[in-house]
C-alpha cells in the first residue's frame, strides 16, 4: 500500500476507532462502578437506558428494513443493536458519572489507562472483524463454532 492509501484509511477509520474506544472506556468504567457498588442512583436512571435501547432497536429496525436484509435477519440485527445500545449507553453513562464524581478512583489508580488500553484493543478487533467479516465467518463455520 502506498502512503496516500494508508493516510486515507487512517482519516476514515481513525475517528470511528477513537469514538468507539472512548465509548468502550466509559462503559468499562461503568462496569467497575457497578461492581464496586459506587454507582449511586443507577436505579433512577435505568428507565432512560431502557428508552435508549428501545430507540436504538426501532431505529435499526427501520434502517435495516430498507436494506437487503429482510424478515428474521432484520429483526435479529435490530435486536442486537437495541441490546448493544442499552448496554453501551447504560454502562457508558454510569462510567462518566463515576469518573466525574470519583476522579481519584479512576485516574489516580491508573485504572483509566488499563481500561483505555482494553477499549482500544477491542475497537481495533471490532474494526478488523467488520472489515474481514467474510473471512471470519468462513473460519468460524469451518471450526464448527
pLDDT digit string (tens) for 80-134? 999 999 999 999 999 999 999 998 888 877 888 999 999 999 999 988 888 888 7
Task: Evaluate whether 98 touches 32 at the Cβ level (below 8 Å).
Answer: yes
Domain membership flag for residue 1: no
Q: What is the pLDDT of residues 47-74, one digit of tens each?
A: 999 999 999 999 998 888 777 777 788 8
The number of domains in the chain is 1
| Alpha carbon 50 to its chain's center | 16
Domain membership flag for residue 8: no
Write the DSSP assignment of 67-131 as a string of letters: SS--HHHHHHHHHHHHHHHHHHHHHHHHHHHHHHH-HIIIIITSHHHHHHHHHHHHHHHHHHHHH
| Predicted pLDDT at 106 | 86
Domain membership flag for residue 58: yes
Enclosing domain of residue 53 = 18-143
Q: Phi and psi dihedrals of 70, rounded to 5?
A: -140, 165
Q: Is this model's pTM higher than 0.85 or not?
A: no
Domain membership flag for residue 2: no
Domain membership flag for residue 56: yes
Amino acid at each position: 500500500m502506498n502512503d496516500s492509501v494508508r493516510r486515507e484509511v487512517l482519516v476514515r477509520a481513525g475517528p470511528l476507532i477513537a469514538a468507539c474506544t472512548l465509548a468502550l472506556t466509559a462503559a468499562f468504567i461503568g462496569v467497575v462502578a457497578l461492581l464496586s457498588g459506587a454507582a449511586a442512583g443507577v436505579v433512577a436512571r435505568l428507565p432512560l437506558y431502557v428508552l435508549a435501547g428501545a430507540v436504538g432497536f426501532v431505529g435499526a429496525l427501520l434502517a435495516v428494513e430498507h436494506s437487503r436484509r429482510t424478515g428474521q435477519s432484520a429483526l435479529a440485527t435490530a435486536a442486537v443493536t437495541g441490546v448493544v445500545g442499552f448496554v453501551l449507553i447504560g454502562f457508558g453513562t454510569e462510567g462518566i458519572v463515576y469518573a466525574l464524581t470519583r476522579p481519584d478512583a479512576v485516574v489516580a489508580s491508573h485504572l483509566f489507562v488499563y481500561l483505555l488500553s482494553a477499549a482500544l484493543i477491542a475497537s481495533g478487533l471490532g474494526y478488523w472483524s467488520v472489515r474481514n467479516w467474510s473471512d471470519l465467518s468462513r473460519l468460524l463455520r469451518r471450526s464448527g463454532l
